[in-house]
Amino acid sequence: MTFEGTMTALITPFDENGDFDEEGFRENIKSQIDGGIDGIVPVGTTGECATLSYEEHEKVVEVAVDAADGKVPVVAGTGSNSTKEALMLTNYAAEAGADGVLLVAPYYNKPTQRGLYEHYKKLAEEVNIPQVIYNIPSRTGRNIEAETLIKLSELENVVGVKEASGDLNQVMKIARGSGEDFDILSGDDSLTLPILSLGGVGAVSVASNLVPGKISDLVSSYLEGDVEKARDIHFELMPLFKALFIETNPGPIKAAMNILGKPAGKPRLPLVEAESETKQKLREVMSELGLIK
């Protein structure tokens, strides 16, 4: 299976007590599908996977699969800094009916490139489900180097990478060295257009929580050959891309969703609600885009 187009890195909405808001989550997924999104990614960075219990993590995946109802692929975040835990979560996602999994690089313990390779090799061999590697060194403390990713692309079940290193030279090396059946997905909204130009086939987007139609249109326009339209949408959304990362994700996107009246709630500690200045900037940008009055 390949994952092309736009997939939304879903927020995990919480209620006033800080518990998982299942009804709100289902509402958000319906809105995403109605907005033309190509897939959903629950329990990733934006979904605050690091502060969910195992039971909550599994519940969110179950609800996502049920709410998607086969209309769009579900690629569940199942990465961990422990290979054993990643195996457990990945097995569960496969059993729950997810179409694929997103595996963030092991964080905190800073494995070597050999360690990273062996980690992903173990997962690929143990669980028969399409696996997308997630490279985001700003959060994990370790970059998965292009040479390692190219080697990993040769493994059965490893189907792509969500690239959020911010290094376009690395993206070029991966595109040149991996096969045509290895999907390169942008993991940074501001770099989606450049990554598409280097051979990327889609994006895992934070901004599409807010504007699914716009992000879908950007990606599909480029893939269909209308580069000018894709570029116009990119320039239109640049202020939003910037505003959504004034503070640590998912603080700003949750604030923006709350402003729009969508289920979101506050982030879980140690993350905190976006500052008032950030909320004001978001309102200004959202007003300019016609999302609010």
Residue of 92, 117, 120, 134 marked catalytic: 134
Residue of 92, 117, 151, 162 marked catalytic: 162
Q: Tell me how far apart the alpha carbons of residues 27 and 169 are, in angstroms, rounded to a whole number.
A: 39
104 among annotated binding-site residues: no
For the chain, where are the E strands, in sequence order? 5-9, 39-41, 75-77, 100-104, 131-135, 158-163, 183-186, 202-205
Does the active-site annotation cover 122? no
Q: What is the DSSP letter of 20?
A: B
Does the active-site annotation cover 162? yes
CB 273 within 8 A of CB 255: yes
Q: What is the DSSP letter of 21?
A: -
Q: Tell me how far apart the alpha carbons of residues 229 and 205 are, in angstroms, rounded to a whole number.
A: 18
83 among annotated binding-site residues: no
Q: Which of 73, 22, 78 is nearest to 49 (CA)?
A: 78
Q: Tell me how far apart the alpha carbons of residues 268 and 227 are, in angstroms, rounded to a whole number.
A: 39
Longest dimension (CA), the chain: 52
- Locate 238 and state its tokens: 């640049």
**Helix (H) and strand (E) counts in the chain:** 12, 8
**Strand, coil or helix: what is 203?**
strand
Residue numbers belonging to the annotated binding site: 46, 204
Q: Which residues are catalytic?
A: 134, 162
Residue numbers belonging to the annotated binding site for pyruvate: 46, 204
